[in-house]
Amino acid sequence: MRAVEWILQPLHKIYLAEDSGDIKKMWVYRSIVRSSPSRHAIARTVQWTRHLCDAQKLSQTQPNIILMGSPGCGKTTVGRILGERLQLPVLDVDDHHLEPYWGVSVAQKLSEVGSEGFVAAEGEALKAFCPQRSVISLTGSNPMHAEAMEHISKTGRVYFMDVHKSDILERLERMKVSRIVGQNDGTSMAEILDFRQQFYERWYDERIICERLESPENVADKVLACIAKHQNPKAKGYESTRGFNLECSTFNDALLQGLAPDDGLVVPRAAVPFFTLGQLDRLIELSYPERVLRVLERWIPCNEICPSRLREMIHAAYGGAVFQDAAVCPVRPLTGSDGQFLQELFHGPTASFKDFALQLMPRMFLNAASECTEKHKYLILVATSGDTGGAVLDGFSRVTEKAGSHSPGVLVLYPRDGISSIQRDQMVFYHGNRARVIGVEGADFDACQTMVKKIFQNVDINKTLLDKYQVKLSAANSISWGRLLPQVAYHVSSYLDLVKKKVIAMGNQIDLCIPTGNFGNILAAYYAKEMGVPIKRLVCASNSNNVLTDFLSSGCYDITKRRLKQTVSPAIDILVSSNLERLLHYVTNRECAIVREAFEQLRDNKVFSVPKQVAESLHGMFSAGWATDEDCKAAIKTTREKSNYLLDTHTGIAKSVADRFQGDRPMVIVATAHPAKFAHDILASFGRQINHRTPVDLIRGIADEAAVPGLHEALLKTLSSADDKPKLTCENNIGHVLKQVTDLARCL
């Protein structure tokens, strides 16, 4: 047989080496023929093939492979295929355990004891089942017995074969199955499947998203890919973008750590996970929280956060009344602008896209802290250009009520004169015993972010905080991997919404235009693209601080002659874009030396250039443009006149840039904030009277300017309660900032 060896960059170079085994040869051939010629498909075929060549070794170390799913999902057939490929025994619980255990057929037992009695009897029988190193196909009703599932799940990894309900119903009708629990109690098969879904969602370790009418061989391929990933040591743990050998080996470790010790950013060692178009199609009809779950469980191994626990946190973050719109992040056509759509990311409690990460990240942070063997107190240190601070404070305030004395402290630094009064008052509202908001005098965002990084990097400071106050520092800016990752999901969701609305067919490409400062949001979109979402062009929209526009065009990042300009879009008033480091780490195929040298040059000389081939690669991935304040105001005014829709000043930047790049493909403009957050500048641009008006008055005034998006009730409520809160400031000096850090650490 020809087993496949390969290199990752470039993906089209595949080298073949001789091996033996006719069965494996046929499987390789079948997989390659079935796959599309895209680089993703080739890479997956290559990856699965290489791992399959170690089948003999795998079968000697692999715990039980436990297949779970509805009746008719194909567990038995897939189990046989896996057994052949891995040379493992194949056990069907119905045929190989229950019937010998009872001495009667399953159908007869069901007839004798009825549905409720059968689940109990089946559960007791499964508790006596102790196979080793086998492929096991559970019955469809096994997961309904908790004690039995607790027993069997300890013997191996449970793979949930998530098959579309229509496919299952068609198969069951064709098979004329008559021995399903509940089938003869007057309940329809569709109702039985819907009821059982909750049990499957509780017990799986790995979800295998099966495409519509997918062959058993293809499903087995997917299971093998999961098994191989767990067996591959190179796919485990995290590393620094600059090459430091991190001790953090799990997602929880990475979440708690924040910044890497060598000044780099934490990234996973594993390759970016991938969805086929058929798998993306399965996500279309899901709610937003369920889409998020499907995305994040691809990134977070089941042994690091249990999928059922991840589900709880996701639904708590995005369910209920946390977000004002039932769709959470709806995508709406922009009338008067053919082919343009707005993804509204401002329906969260602080009216900013930052809520999407920071309603979930604090829940994951506390979960990680609770599972940590070393019990420390934590202080979250944040630099903000306006939106992150409020979102961090709100997110942690919602979870710390339950955490009590174990809840982390939060200290937010913002440029005192570099954000809107509404952003400032919104943050000040959360000031309390465990939260402190500090305006740094004479500083811009870059200065605040630099001080945060220096504090993280100072070994003596961190040792003093730990020894004296038992406090560890952590981050909630997008320099934290746990903060960045949840943002990937809403970019996946925007594409699914366009398919659901029949704007495009699955597989058609779209463009995204994103107002960009620290590069986190557009990096999350890039990860979504790498996951298989058909995004053609990522458009980076900057304001007058347009260093990213120049870099993506030339490959040279140069701030030697730049001074930060204050604009009407302050959240992207940034010259040092931290998350660009993660992108360079990825596109250089993890060449840490290149990344380290580039950002050390930026620190020391305020300029760096990337190799020509990297610059060309970036130019092929991204388009970039920038807009002035006047361009932004014109876009806001024109959109209001044409669409009766009011953009905020950051989305105004994106709209101005998107108009220059609009082509035949749909363009999704990412609306990152509600216009009320920047009411002062918007109303002033319309010639409205703004002097001596309070933030609350300004917000109400914005709601009168256009029908959509309307009043942001949560923002109004927060600002109405912020008047009596202190507005603390400190000098632009790391010593003064350290005093604030120490004072808060002492109070925790």
If DSSP states are collapsed to H, E and C, what string results for 164-222?
Answer: CHHHHHHHHHHHCCCCCCCCCCCCCHHHHHHHHHHHHHHHCCEEEECCCCCCHHHHHHH
Backbone angles phi, psi at 33, to 5 degrees: -65, -40
Q: Are residues 593 and 707 in the same domain?
A: yes
According to the model, what pLDDT value does residue 176 have?
81
23-27, 120-124, 557-561: lowest mean pLDDT where? 23-27
Structural domains in the chain (count) = 3
Structural domain includes residue 536: yes
| Residue 363 domain flag | no
Based on the domain organization, do 202 and 118 belong to the same domain? yes
Structure tokens at 741: 């850090």
Percent of the chain residues past pLDDT 90, beyond the cut: 80
Q: Are residues 139 and 24 in the same domain?
A: no
Reading the block at residue 557, the tokens are 């990042």
* pLDDT, position 651: 99
Helix/strand/coil for 298:
helix
**Which one, of 453, 441, 440, lies nearest residue 414 by Cα?**
440
CATH code assigned at 685: 3.40.50.1100
pLDDT above 60 (res 633) = yes
Residue 60: pLDDT band by 50, 70, 90 thresholds?
low
Tell me, yes or no, whether 107 and 185 share the same domain: yes
Kindly tell me the burial class for residue 369, based on how many C-beta atoms sit within 10 Å of its own C-beta (0-12, 13-18, 19 or more). Answer: buried
Main-chain phi, psi angles of 668, to 5 degrees? -95, 120
Residue 517 lies in a domain: yes
Q: Measured between alpha carbons, how far is 242 from 262 in angstroms, rounded to an integer?
A: 7
Element containing residue 332 per DSSP (H, E): strand 331-333
Same domain assignment for residues 510 and 595: yes
In a domain, 110, yes or no: yes
Mean pLDDT of 636-665: 97
For the stretch 591-617, pLDDT in tens is 999 999 999 999 999 999 999 999 999
Among 13-22, 315-324, 440-449, where is mean pLDDT lowest? 13-22
CATH number for position 166: 3.40.50.300
Distance CA 498, CA 670 (A): 14
Q: What integer pLDDT is reported at residue 51 of this predicted model?
A: 46
- Token pair listed for 328: 């959470």
pLDDT of residue 258: 79
Residue count (the chain): 748
Percent with pLDDT over 70 in the chain: 91
Query: Do residues 515 and 650 make contact, with C-beta atoms less than 8 angstroms apart?
Result: yes
Using alpha carbons, select from 518, 535, 641, 663 the residue that is nearest to residue 582: 518
Distance of CA 405 to the CA centre of its chain: 29
Sheet containing 90-92: which strands, arranged edge to edge?
Answer: 90-92, 135-137, 64-68, 156-162, 206-209
Banded pLDDT at 177 (limits 50, 70, 90): confident
Identify the band that residue 383 occupies on the pLDDT scale cut at 50, 70 and 90: very high
Please tell me the distance from the alpha carbon of residue 572 to that of residue 538, in angstroms, as a whole number: 17
Higher pLDDT, 371 or 184: 371
Q: Where are the alpha helices (DSSP H) in 644-747?
A: 649-661, 679-685, 695-703, 713-720, 734-747
Q: Rounded to an integer, what distance in angstroms lies between the CA atom of residue 51 and that of residue 43?
A: 12
Is 690 found in the same domain as 628?
yes
| Whether the predicted pLDDT of 639 surpasses 80 | yes
Considering the domain boundaries, does residue 239 fall inside one? no
Average pLDDT of the chain? 90
Residue 384 located in a structural domain:
no
Quote the pTM value: 0.90
pLDDT at site 308: 97
Which strand (E) or helix (H) includes residue 381?
Answer: strand 377-383
**Can you tell me the distance from the alpha carbon of 334 to that of 355, in angstroms, rounded to the nearest whole number?**
23
pLDDT in the model for residue 257: 84
pLDDT band for position 57 (cuts 50, 70, 90): low
304 is written with which tokens?
């690091």
In this structure, are 26 and 132 located in the same domain?
no
Same domain (yes/no): 616, 701: yes
In a domain, 377, yes or no: no
Would 4 be classed as within a structural domain? yes
Find the mean pLDDT for residues 636-644: 97
Among residues 476, 478, 446, the alpha carbon closest in space to that of 382 is found at 476
Q: What is the pLDDT of residue 29?
A: 30
- Helix, strand, coil shares of the chain as percentages rounded to 5? 50, 15, 35
Give the separation between CA 476 and CA 380, rounded to whole angstroms: 7
Residues 33 and 152 in one domain: no
What DSSP element (H or E) covers 542?
A: strand 535-542
Is there a single domain that holds both residue 685 and residue 624? yes
Domain that holds residue 661: 329-351+500-717
Nearest to 126 by CA among 139, 117, 116: 139
pLDDT of residue 17: 29
Confidence of residue 40 (pLDDT cuts 50, 70, 90): very low
Q: Looking at the structure, do residues 79 and 216 belong to the same domain, yes or no? A: yes
State whether 5 and 90 are in the same domain.
no
Domain closes at, from 9, 31, 53: 53
76-128 pLDDT tens trace: 999 999 999 999 999 999 999 999 999 999 999 999 999 889 999 999 999 99
